[in-house]
């Protein structure tokens, strides 16, 4: 409960500070104004402080001198954490006190994700798949948030949230089938790798154009609210995507329509090669929350328990109060942006090494487990071996599996194929027949 209280306190910090500041300034200014007006009118007294602004778009007092709001009024938003970098609980009342099995599951999912990333990244380098994006360094944001949700809650991801799907039970075989675009892929091989989706697991299929998921999530959350089923929607995005106009639309709709929605920003320092100091000039993404009337918090994204506590409390309140929350999880993208990127062109090895070696969500959780006697070197070695094997088995299976029937490229856009689509399909088959030698049809389902 204390954990919950403290998170609540943090949610209020930005707004509270602004309110205090504004109220203080308004009082002094009103005093000054009465005095000046009194002087100008001789002995006549005219207390203009009685006048109240009537504008429908703001609730505030008049002031009588020109003053711009300093951006730093809402800066320095604190970073909520539960564990320090050595995995020690800082304030015991904040420890979510999760059972051993739950914590081991967190750790195993975070490391399995790591292993899957390594194998799929290498697969792309070897030309076996066309593209890949790793999740290195952001494992704590995925697992901590996923664990705090109900399985029925609807997830809108950006593309770097594979751990959320893994936590929900998406099997390795399915991850591999999607990346290999084989006949087992739920998306029938039509999407680029990492564009996962699962109706059963309430995970909306990823789409590449940045931030499209944000207003979609607001709409879905509005629908969820109308259903009255105590579900929430969670919407993940990067700090780069938050610069898109769609982010504004989503934030504003969600507050005005009072939607049970958690905006989860993974602030990992870079949007491909654009560092945060070129992305925005305010205090990150959390600082934008009060401007939209959004309850907001900043958390240490490398602390899986901090992410868990904040998401759990945001979820509880989003359902109870029908209002959206913004969580800005501070983290670091250790890998390249994608296999199309070489990050050594815009950041130093030392910078990356710091996060990889000294402030990593996996090692932090491991320290926590080791200190409790829940994990040791032998278990680590055995699990590394076992998890690698699990990934390799799935990988080999996916690689051998046939590709989906080529006709499936043309189905599902419309209920029935339109004449134009039928013409395109026929043209494709004529082309394939003509250049048979370039199209190994035996690798495709008949
Ligand atoms: C509308 C649009 N513009 C540009 C791109 C190209 N693009 C893909 S990812 C990306 C960076 C996004 O960064 P961020 O949101 O911080 O997420 P991260 O990759 O760091 O997880 C860009 C510019 C795109 N996919 N869509």
- Give distance in angstroms: CA of 305 to centre of ligand 1: 27
* Same domain (yes/no): 322, 345: yes
Residue 69 lies in a domain: no
Poorest-confidence range of 62-71, 101-110, 299-308, 330-339? Answer: 62-71
CB distance 39 to 11 below 8 Å: no
pTM, full prediction? 0.89
**Ligand 1 atom, smallest distance to 208 CA:** 25
CB distance 295 to 257 below 8 Å: no
CATH number at residue 296: 3.40.50.970
* Same domain (yes/no): 395, 420: no
Residue 315 lies in a domain: yes
Residue 420 lies in a domain: yes
Residue 72 lies in a domain: no
Ligand 1 pocket test, candidate residues 133, 236, 241, most atoms within 8 A of CB: 241
Using DSSP, state whether 271 is helix, strand or coil.
strand
* Same domain (yes/no): 299, 413: no
pLDDT of residue 361: 98
* Same domain (yes/no): 279, 423: no
Residue 359 lies in a domain: yes
81, 80, 79, 76: which is closest to 18 by C-alpha? 76
Residues 106-142 pLDDT 10s: 999 999 999 999 999 999 999 999 999 999 999 999 9
Q: Is the CB of 288 under 6 A from ligand 1?
A: no
Residues 76-96 pLDDT 10s: 999 999 999 999 999 999 999
Q: Is the CB of 268 under 6 A from ligand 1?
A: yes
296, 305, 290, 304: which is closest to 328 by C-alpha? 296
Average pLDDT over residues 293-309: 98
Residue 60 lies in a domain: no
User: Domain count of the chain?
Assistant: 2
* Same domain (yes/no): 419, 303: no
Poorest-confidence range of 10-14, 228-232, 377-381, 423-427? Answer: 10-14
* Same domain (yes/no): 230, 293: yes
Rounded to whole angstroms, the Cα distance separating 184 from 176 reads 9
* Same domain (yes/no): 348, 421: no
> Which of 365, 383, 400 is where one domain is finished?
400
* Same domain (yes/no): 393, 431: no
Residue 317 lies in a domain: yes
* Same domain (yes/no): 296, 432: no
Residues 54-68 pLDDT 10s: 998 888 899 999 999
Residue 425 lies in a domain: yes
- Domain with 313, as residue range(s), is 92-400
CA of residue 147 relative to chain centroid, distance: 14
Average pLDDT over residues 351-365: 98
pLDDT of residue 5: 44
Q: Is the CB of 336 under 6 A from ligand 1?
A: no
* Same domain (yes/no): 325, 356: yes
């Amino acid at each position: 409960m204390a954990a919950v209280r403290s998170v609540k306190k943090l949610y209020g910090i930005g707004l509270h500070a602004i309110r205090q500041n504004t109220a203080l300034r308004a009082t002094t200014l009103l005093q000054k104004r009465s005095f000046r007006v009194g002087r100008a009118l001789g002995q006549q007294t005219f207390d203009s402080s009685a006048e109240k602004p009537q504008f429908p778009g703001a609730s505030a007092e008049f002031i009588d001198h020109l003053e711009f709001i300093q951006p730093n009024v809402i800066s320095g938003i604190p970073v909520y954490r539960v564990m320090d970098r050595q995995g020690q609980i800082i304030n015991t009342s904040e420890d979510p006190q999760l059972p051993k099995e739950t914590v081991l599951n967190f750790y195993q999912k975070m490391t399995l994700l790591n292993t899957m990333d390594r194998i799929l990244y290498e697969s792309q380098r070897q030309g076996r798949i066309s593209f890949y994006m790793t999740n290195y360094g952001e494992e704590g944001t995925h697992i901590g948030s996923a664990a705090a949700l109900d399985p029925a809650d609807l997830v809108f991801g950006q593309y770097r949230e594979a751990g959320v799907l893994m936590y929900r039970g998406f099997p390795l075989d399915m991850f591999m089938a999607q990346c290999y675009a084989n006949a087992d892929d739920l998306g029938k091989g039509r999407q680029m790798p990492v564009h996962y989706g699962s109706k059963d697991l309430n995970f909306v299929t990823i789409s590449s154009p940045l931030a499209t998921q944000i207003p979609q999530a607001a709409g879905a959350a509005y629908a969820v609210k109308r259903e009255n089923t105590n579900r929430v929607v969670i919407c993940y995005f990067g700090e780069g995507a938050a610069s898109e106009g769609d982010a504004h639309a989503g934030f504003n709709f969600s507050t005005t329509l009072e939607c049970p929605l958690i905006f989860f920003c993974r602030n990992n320092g870079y949007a491909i090669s654009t560092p945060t100091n070129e992305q925005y000039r305010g205090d990150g993404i959390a600082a934008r929350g009060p401007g939209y009337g959004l309850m907001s918090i900043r958390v240490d994204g490398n602390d899986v328990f901090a992410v868990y506590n904040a998401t759990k409390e945001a979820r509880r309140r989003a359902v109870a109060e029908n209002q959206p929350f913004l969580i800005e999880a501070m983290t670091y993208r250790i890998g390249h942006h994608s296999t199309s990127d070489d990050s050594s062109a815009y950041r130093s090895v030392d910078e990356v090494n710091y996060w990889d070696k000294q402030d990593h969500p996996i090692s932090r959780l491991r320290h926590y487990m080791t200190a409790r006697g829940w994990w040791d070197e032998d278990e680590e070695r055995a699990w590394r071996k076992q998890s690698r094997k699990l990934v390799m088995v799935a990988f080999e299976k996916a690689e051998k599996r046939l590709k989906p029937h080529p006709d499936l490229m043309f189905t599902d856009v419309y209920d029935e194929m339109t004449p134009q689509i039928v013409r395109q399909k026929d043209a494709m088959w004529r082309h394939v027949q003509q250049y048979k030698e370039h199209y190994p049809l035996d690798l495709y389902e008949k």
